[in-house]
Amino acid sequence: MVTYIDAVDAPLKNTGAIRLYSADDFAGMRKACLLTARCLDELASIVKPGVTTSQIDRFVFDFGMEHGALPATLNYRGYKYSVCTSINHVVCHGMPDDKPLRDGDIVNIDVTYVLDGWHGDSSRMYPVGQLKRAAERLLEVTHECLMRGIAAVRPGARTGAIGQAIQTFAEAERCSVVRDFCGHGVGRLFHDTPNILHYGRADEGPELREGMIFTIEPMINLGKPHVKVLADGWTAVTRDRSLSAQYEHAVGVTATGCEIFTLSPAGLDRPGLPPLTR
Ligand code: MF3
Ligand code: CO
Ligand code: CO
């Protein structure tokens, strides 16, 4: 039975069909995603040894409020924070707490602002102080995985082309791709169809079409790919406690390729790493 309550937000339900967004919709996403990128830019000078992830959570909430945006994660399926902060062997969905960040840590900060009904979902890795070479290499490999996945996006390709590009590079670098979490359709909804797997083959998955909007957010481990979720019901960690990293962009499929909505206006897409020379 469809009640009037269902009918009200029926257009916002995940129906299984992949939504195609208009030029106006792309403009809405551009704004929401720019705000998220600006928040992630600000965090580049905030993250340092001694800072707590609760302080980061507070900053993300306040920055959203100042700009008329709500953090999508707050009260999402019982999640109680404005941001996910995933440190070292935490793969994703780390919850902010009062423990200070320590020299040598790597932390993923994942922000989703909802601005005018559009979801700007993006994350970056932040080095805390001076990193060991292995950690720095993992960040470089993971960012390259994201960009190679994005480079595979064009109308006519399948979602599997993204996964294949990421998996091929990660494994050639002797890293592994987490299977238990994936990218997702995004836009009016936080998590929509299609799933974007970060592994697989180019002939798998639905065909990409102009107007689709989704995230690519590979989680790459220095050790084995296996994860477990802690008793808190959220924190996902590597089973072998190896380091894990993740970068996330929201992209829209265009006639010729894709537009990256969440690029940093300040060129801070990979904080703490040398700027890209491409
Ligand atoms: N931002 C995450 C993503 O990239 C989702 C976090 S959901 C939460 O899809 F509830 F854990 F916050
Ligand atoms: Co996402
Ligand atoms: Co995210």
pLDDT at 197 over 90: yes
Q: What are phi and psi of 91, to 5 degrees?
A: -80, -45
Q: How far apart are CA 99 and CA 16, in angstroms?
A: 41
Express each pLDDT in 205-247 by its tens digit.
999 999 999 999 999 999 999 999 999 999 999 999 999 999 9
CB distance 249 to ligand 1 below 6 Å: no
CB distance 76 to ligand 1 below 6 Å: yes
Neighbouring CB atoms inside 10 A of 29's CB total 25
* Lowest-pLDDT range of 9-13, 160-164, 191-195, 260-264: 9-13
Which uninterrupted H or E stretch holds 77?
Answer: none
pLDDT at 13 over 70: no
DSSP 101: P
Percent of the chain with pLDDT over 90: 92
**With contact defined as beta carbons under 8 Å apart, do 20 and 211 qualify?**
yes
Express each pLDDT in 124-179 by its tens digit.
999 999 999 999 999 999 999 999 999 999 999 999 999 999 999 999 999 999 99
**With contact defined as beta carbons under 8 Å apart, do 194 and 160 qualify?**
no
- Enumerate residues 6+ apart whose C-beta is below 8 A from 182: 195, 196, 197, 198, 217
Q: How far apart are CA 148 and CA 172, in angstroms?
A: 13
pTM here? 0.95
| Residue type (1 letter), 21 | Y
For ligand 1, the distance from its centroid to the CA atom of residue 74, given in whole angstroms, is 10
**With contact defined as beta carbons under 8 Å apart, do 179 and 199 qualify?**
yes
CB distance 216 to ligand 1 below 6 Å: no
Count Cα atoms within 13 angstroms, Cβ side, for 81: 22
User: What are the chain's domains?
Assistant: 18-214+226-260 (3.90.230.10)
Band (9; pLDDT cuts 50, 70, 90): low
Strand-strand pairing, 236-238 and 244-246: unpaired
Nearest residue (CA) to ligand 1, atom 12: 73
- Index of the ligand 1 atom closest to the CA of residue 111: 1
